Each structure stands twice: as structure tokens, then as C-alpha cells.
Copies of this chain bind each other. A is one copy, B any other.
Amino acid sequence: MMRIAVDAMGGDYAPAEIVTGAIAALELLDPADELILIGREDAIRSHLPAGPLDSRVKIVHASDVIGMDETPVEAIRQKKDSSILRMAKLAAEKAVDAVISAGNTGACVAACQLKMRPLPGVSRPGIAVVLPSFHGPVVLCDVGANIAPKPHHLLEYAHLASVYASLVLNIQNPRVGLLSIGEEEVKGNRLVKEARDLIRQDGRLNFIGNIEGRDVLKGAADIAVCDGFVGNIVLKLTEGLSEGLFKTIEKELGDEAPELASAFKPVVRRIWDRHDYSEYGGAPLLGVDGICIICHGSSDRRAIRNAIRAARRYVVTRLNSALESRLSRETANA
């Protein structure tokens, strides 16, 4: 029996797409599982399918909504009955096994960090995103939970992402790269140089050294470790550039060879789908005691359904136990 809670009010297309996606995910769940929708009850109900409600669906009312552009810390301080804060509390009380939100990322991270305990051995959780590269998936960690990390935080991200990659993506002994500005040992800022020493000395990591921006999507490593400021810029640049290039190619073809454009569109669609990271079901906040998945603000029903599938997988594979046994101090000192 598994209980998955979804912030029904978070995201650009909330609550309609969130509720619809969550209901669509019921087919992925067991009869004994529960799906908890958090938010304004009337708003949620208005998007539920007609007829009797599936008995696995519960609604937890929360009267406040944190907007996508609100300042995270102020918002969670002021909006005590927001869906995000209520969600984080349910996770903290172990009343649910996993939580999912496509809402204000900063508020979601702040609420989860505030309410949920870190796993033993973790000092700061990190957001991991799976980027679909040209040679298979790449895990980028952190992409924004911690924009001013210390070197030992990057070491923790290397461990968290390694366990995640092997357990969830089935990558044996994943290769860890440290995102920097050159492969040579001497290159990088102070954070990278100090983190490099820590990561290299840790025999449990398959560390391959620094990787450059150009290597991230070329399969040079399975994991790219970076600070949350750099990771967030990398993630958003990747999104913007891919989208822009596809649009440019379509437009250019339409201008110069309209007869090609119509044949080209379905091919582009397939490539685009494969490079769309919502396929991976959102980004886990790794290192908190509970499963927390952060979805893109622009998530549609498909993305939410994928996130619920991912949450289920993390619970079934006992992701957090694996993270804990890797990071607990006893193991580290063994």
C-alpha cells in the first residue's frame, strides 16, 4: 500500500492538468494505493471526472495557493494553509510516502527542507534532473536547491546522484563528472577544486574528473555534479536552446522547402519527445527523508502522470534506504 500526494494547485496549468494527470495515473496504481490531491476542494472537484470517484482518491483541503512568482521564503511563512506547505507536512508526518508538485520550485524546496528531515549523512538536499542526452540519460545535480554550496555538499550530490542513477536508471557504477571549465586538474573555481579533492578521495565513487559544458550531453559522464546556480542555468539553457533550434529548423524548412516541412514535422516530434525530460517524471529532491518530486511549472497531464509513475518506482525500489545506507556516517567511515 502506497500513498502518493499531489499538489493540485501548483503549476502553470493547475488545477485542471494536474488533477486530470493524477486521475490518469490511477491505472498505474494498485487497488490498495491512495492518491491524495491537495488544494482547494471546490477547484479540485470541478476537474474530477463525472460519476462516482475512485475510492483511492482522497482530497485534502488547503485554502491558500502559492503563486509561481512569489518569493519562496516569504510565501511559506505567510501562507500557512498553502497546498505546498500542507504537502510538506504530510510528508514530514509520514502520512504519505511521496509528494509531487509542479508549483513554485523555490517554495517547494524550502517547505520540504523546513518540514522534512534530511537523511542521515546528508547536510543539504539537491535536486537531480535527468537530461536526455544524445548517448543516453545524464543526471545533473544540483539544479537549484542550493545555490551556494560547500565542497562537501558537492560530494554528497555525487553520492546521491550515483545511487539514483544505478537504482532508477539501471546504470552500473555510474561515471561521475564534475562540471567545470576544462578537463585539466588545475581548471575551475575554488569550489570545484576543493570538491574535486573530496570526490576523488572517496573510493566508492566512479569519478572521472572534470567535464566541460560541451561534454554534458555527449555521454562523457553519467552524472554531472555542479552547484545549484550553475545547474539551474544549464538546465534552462538546454530547454531554451532545444526548443529554439527545433522551431528555427521548422521555420527555415517552411520558408525554403515547404514540401519538406510537412514530412519533417513528425520526425521532429519524435526526437523532441525523446529529448523532453518530462518523460522522466520530474526531478527528485534527493536527500530528504521521504520522496519529493518537483515537476516543471509547465507540466501537463502527461508530465504529472509520469511523475506519479516515477514516485511509485522510487518507493518500490526503496530509493531512500539505498541513499541512506550509502550516506550514513557508519558506511562512510567503514
A229 lies within 8 A of B189 (CB): yes
Question: Are A260 and B270 also in contact (CB < 8 A) when A186-B71, A189-B229 are?
Answer: no
Docked complex Cα distance between A252 and B215 (Å): 21
Interface of chain A, helix or strand or loop or mixed?
helix
* Closest B residue by C-beta to A240: B214
B147, A181: Cβ atoms under 8 Å? yes
Residues in B with CB closer than 8 Å to A176 are none
A53 at the interface (CB under 8 A from B): no
A275 to B244, CA, bound (A): 12
Q: Which of B181, B217, B218, B270 contacts A144 (CB 8 A)?
A: B181
A317 interface residue per 8 A CB criterion: no
Chain A interface category by residue count: 35 or more
A242 in the interface (beta carbon within 8 A): yes
Bound complex: CA A239 to CA B212 (Å): 11
A267/B257 contact (C-beta < 8 A), A212-B233, A242-B245 known: yes
Once A239-B214, A260-B260, A260-B263 are accepted as A-B contacts, the answer to whether A252 and B270 lie under 8 Å apart by CB is yes
Taking CB atoms and an 8 Å cut-off, the chain A residues in 196-249 that contact chain B are 212-218, 228-230, 232-242, 244-249
Beta-carbon contacts under 8 Å, A12-32 to B: none
Q: Does A330 contact B (CB under 8 A)?
A: no
A sample of 18 more A-B contacts (CB under 8 A), given A181-B229, A253-B264, is A106-B187, A147-B181, A147-B189, A181-B236, A213-B233, A213-B236, A213-B239, A213-B240, A214-B236, A217-B241, A217-B244, A229-B230, A241-B241, A241-B242, A248-B275, A252-B270, A252-B271, A257-B263
Chain A residues within CB distance 8 Å of chain B: 69, 71, 106, 133-134, 144, 147-148, 179-182, 184, 186-190, 192, 212-218, 228-230, 232-242, 244-249, 252-253, 256-257, 260, 263-264, 267-268, 270-271, 275
